[in-house]
Amino acid sequence: MFSAKTNNNIDFDTVISARTEIRGDIAVKGAIQIDGVLKGNLIAEAGSKASVRISDKGRVEGRITAPNVIINGEVVGDIHAYDYIELAKKARITGDVHYATMEMVLGAQVNGQLIHGNGAKAPSSSGVSEPELAKVD
């Protein structure tokens, strides 16, 4: 289902089943797998080693902010992966992807920008990345 490089031995603390739809934001510290639908933001607590996996049946309508993100389903919203992101064969993303390290498999689709670097930094204590101000001379 995912590439050979993916650590499939992750113990998921939370699994949202294929027959479940959640409306609202979710904050995680550990690993979460989404096989159902999340209509809200998914935010990992600052300093956590959280992992987010969206299976081929999963869908997220909202922003994802986490250190490690593996997607093989659909995301409508921006993604901030400040350590690693993997876009598997069936990944469908409508939004910008901010990343530090990325693996993208043939077949994955991104309808948005791929932004490497500063936009992928860890969130502030509020769980939301602080905006960066541009210098104007």
Per-residue pLDDT reduced to its tens digit, 8-36: 566 778 899 999 999 999 999 999 999 99
pLDDT at residue 69 above 70?
yes
Confidence of residue 1 (pLDDT cuts 50, 70, 90): very low
SS3 118: helix
Which pLDDT belongs to residue 8?
55
**73 contacts 59 by C-beta, under 8 angstroms:** yes
Q: What is the pLDDT of residues 39-52, one digit of tens each?
A: 999 998 877 889 99
Higher pLDDT, 22 or 124: 22
Q: Is 66 exposed, middle or buried (0-12, 13-18, 19+ CB in 10 A)?
A: buried
Which residues lie closer than 8 Å to 35 by C-beta, 6 or more apart?
15, 16, 17, 18, 20, 55, 57, 58
